Amino acid sequence: MNLMLARLTYMQDHKVQVNDIADPHTTILLVMKELNKNLHKIADHGVSHAALSKQFTNAFTAIYILQTSLDFTSGGEIAENLFRLYEYVRQELLKAFARDSDHSLANAIVLLDEIIEAWEVVGTKVGGQPT
Protein backbone atom coordinates (compact mmCIF):
# COMPACT_ATOMS: atom_id res chain seq x y z
CA MET A 1 0.00 0.00 0.00
CA ASN A 2 1.43 3.37 -0.87
CA LEU A 3 0.83 6.68 0.87
CA MET A 4 -1.84 7.75 -1.64
CA LEU A 5 -3.91 4.68 -0.82
CA ALA A 6 -3.30 5.22 2.90
CA ARG A 7 -4.45 8.82 2.55
CA LEU A 8 -7.60 7.75 0.69
CA THR A 9 -8.40 5.05 3.24
CA TYR A 10 -7.96 7.48 6.11
CA MET A 11 -10.09 10.14 4.40
CA GLN A 12 -12.89 7.66 3.71
CA ASP A 13 -12.91 6.34 7.27
CA HIS A 14 -12.60 9.71 8.95
CA LYS A 15 -14.05 12.19 6.46
CA VAL A 16 -10.87 14.26 6.45
CA GLN A 17 -10.42 16.88 3.76
CA VAL A 18 -7.53 16.46 1.29
CA ASN A 19 -6.05 19.78 2.40
CA ASP A 20 -5.76 18.45 5.94
CA ILE A 21 -3.30 15.75 4.89
CA ALA A 22 -1.35 17.33 2.04
CA ASP A 23 2.00 15.68 2.71
CA PRO A 24 3.08 12.15 3.69
CA HIS A 25 4.63 13.25 6.98
CA THR A 26 1.37 14.83 8.13
CA THR A 27 -0.62 11.82 6.92
CA ILE A 28 1.45 9.46 9.05
CA LEU A 29 1.25 11.81 12.03
CA LEU A 30 -2.54 11.96 11.79
CA VAL A 31 -2.79 8.18 11.56
CA MET A 32 -0.48 7.76 14.59
CA LYS A 33 -2.58 10.23 16.59
CA GLU A 34 -5.78 8.45 15.58
CA LEU A 35 -4.26 5.14 16.69
CA ASN A 36 -3.22 6.71 19.98
CA LYS A 37 -6.69 8.15 20.58
CA ASN A 38 -8.30 4.75 19.99
CA LEU A 39 -5.78 2.95 22.21
CA HIS A 40 -6.60 5.35 25.03
CA LYS A 41 -10.32 4.63 24.65
CA ILE A 42 -9.72 0.88 24.59
CA ALA A 43 -7.44 1.03 27.64
CA ASP A 44 -10.12 2.87 29.64
CA HIS A 45 -11.41 0.06 31.83
CA GLY A 46 -14.70 1.87 32.49
CA VAL A 47 -15.93 1.29 28.94
CA SER A 48 -17.62 -1.98 27.98
CA HIS A 49 -15.86 -4.24 25.50
CA ALA A 50 -18.90 -4.27 23.20
CA ALA A 51 -18.92 -0.46 22.99
CA LEU A 52 -15.33 -0.48 21.77
CA SER A 53 -15.76 -2.34 18.48
CA LYS A 54 -15.32 0.83 16.42
CA GLN A 55 -12.17 1.79 18.36
CA PHE A 56 -10.71 -1.67 17.80
CA THR A 57 -11.50 -1.48 14.07
CA ASN A 58 -10.00 2.00 13.79
CA ALA A 59 -6.89 0.98 15.73
CA PHE A 60 -6.26 -2.12 13.61
CA THR A 61 -6.81 -0.06 10.44
CA ALA A 62 -4.36 2.59 11.62
CA ILE A 63 -1.72 -0.06 12.39
CA TYR A 64 -2.23 -1.57 8.94
CA ILE A 65 -1.79 1.83 7.30
CA LEU A 66 1.33 2.58 9.33
CA GLN A 67 2.94 -0.80 8.66
CA THR A 68 2.19 -0.86 4.94
CA SER A 69 3.32 2.73 4.44
CA LEU A 70 6.87 1.99 5.57
CA ASP A 71 9.58 2.18 2.90
CA PHE A 72 12.10 -0.48 3.88
CA THR A 73 14.39 0.36 0.96
CA SER A 74 14.87 4.01 1.86
CA GLY A 75 14.02 3.78 5.54
CA GLY A 76 16.41 0.97 6.42
CA GLU A 77 16.80 0.34 10.15
CA ILE A 78 14.34 3.08 11.12
CA ALA A 79 11.61 1.50 9.00
CA GLU A 80 12.38 -1.92 10.48
CA ASN A 81 12.22 -0.56 14.04
CA LEU A 82 8.96 1.26 13.35
CA PHE A 83 7.51 -1.95 11.90
CA ARG A 84 8.50 -3.81 15.09
CA LEU A 85 6.91 -1.12 17.23
CA TYR A 86 3.68 -1.19 15.22
CA GLU A 87 3.69 -4.99 15.40
CA TYR A 88 4.11 -4.85 19.18
CA VAL A 89 1.14 -2.46 19.43
CA ARG A 90 -0.87 -4.79 17.16
CA GLN A 91 -0.06 -7.82 19.33
CA GLU A 92 -1.08 -5.98 22.51
CA LEU A 93 -4.26 -4.81 20.79
CA LEU A 94 -5.04 -8.41 19.83
CA LYS A 95 -4.61 -9.45 23.46
CA ALA A 96 -6.92 -6.66 24.60
CA PHE A 97 -9.46 -7.64 21.94
CA ALA A 98 -9.37 -11.24 23.18
CA ARG A 99 -9.85 -9.89 26.72
CA ASP A 100 -6.49 -11.30 27.75
CA SER A 101 -5.63 -9.61 31.03
CA ASP A 102 -1.94 -9.97 30.19
CA HIS A 103 -2.03 -7.15 27.60
CA SER A 104 0.19 -4.08 27.92
CA LEU A 105 -1.81 -1.42 26.13
CA ALA A 106 -0.55 1.16 28.63
CA ASN A 107 3.03 0.33 27.65
CA ALA A 108 2.12 0.45 23.95
CA ILE A 109 0.54 3.88 24.45
CA VAL A 110 3.70 5.22 26.13
CA LEU A 111 5.85 3.96 23.25
CA LEU A 112 3.49 5.43 20.66
CA ASP A 113 3.47 8.76 22.53
CA GLU A 114 7.26 8.86 22.23
CA ILE A 115 7.14 8.10 18.50
CA ILE A 116 4.51 10.78 17.92
CA GLU A 117 6.61 13.33 19.80
CA ALA A 118 9.70 12.42 17.76
CA TRP A 119 7.68 12.49 14.52
CA GLU A 120 6.48 16.01 15.33
CA VAL A 121 10.06 17.16 16.00
CA VAL A 122 11.24 15.66 12.70
CA GLY A 123 8.40 17.44 10.90
CA THR A 124 9.43 20.84 12.21
CA LYS A 125 13.07 20.20 11.27
CA VAL A 126 12.21 19.39 7.64
CA GLY A 127 9.99 22.42 7.24
CA GLY A 128 6.66 20.97 8.26
CA GLN A 129 4.38 22.12 11.01
CA PRO A 130 3.34 19.90 13.89
CA THR A 131 -0.30 18.91 13.77
Q: Is the Cβ–Cβ distance between 24 and 3 less than 8 Å?
A: yes
Q: Express each pLDDT in 68-80 by its tens digit.
A: 999 999 989 999 9
- Residue 105 placed within a domain: yes
Q: Is the Cβ–Cβ distance between 100 and 130 less than 8 Å?
A: no
- Structurally, the chain folds into a number of domains equal to 1
Q: Is the Cβ–Cβ distance between 103 and 6 less than 8 Å?
A: no
The pLDDT assigned to 7 comes to: 54
Q: Is the Cβ–Cβ distance between 24 and 65 less than 8 Å?
A: no
pTM of the model: 0.76
- Residue 131 placed within a domain: no
| CATH classification at residue 88 | 1.20.120.340
Q: Quote the crossing angle between the two packed helices 72-97 and 53-68, to the nearest 10°.
A: 160
Q: Is the Cβ–Cβ distance between 56 and 40 less than 8 Å?
A: no
- Residue 130 placed within a domain: no
Query: What is the domain extent for residue 62?
Result: 3-125
Q: Describe the chain by its helix, strand, coil percentages, rounded to 5.
A: 80, 0, 20
Q: What is the CA radius of gyration of the chain?
A: 15
- Residue 7 placed within a domain: yes
- Residue 58 placed within a domain: yes
**Range of weakest confidence among 13-27, 30-44, 62-76, 113-127:** 13-27
The pLDDT assigned to 48 comes to: 73
How confident is the model over 105-119, as a mean pLDDT?
94
CA dihedral 13, 126, 90, 49 (to 10 degrees): -50
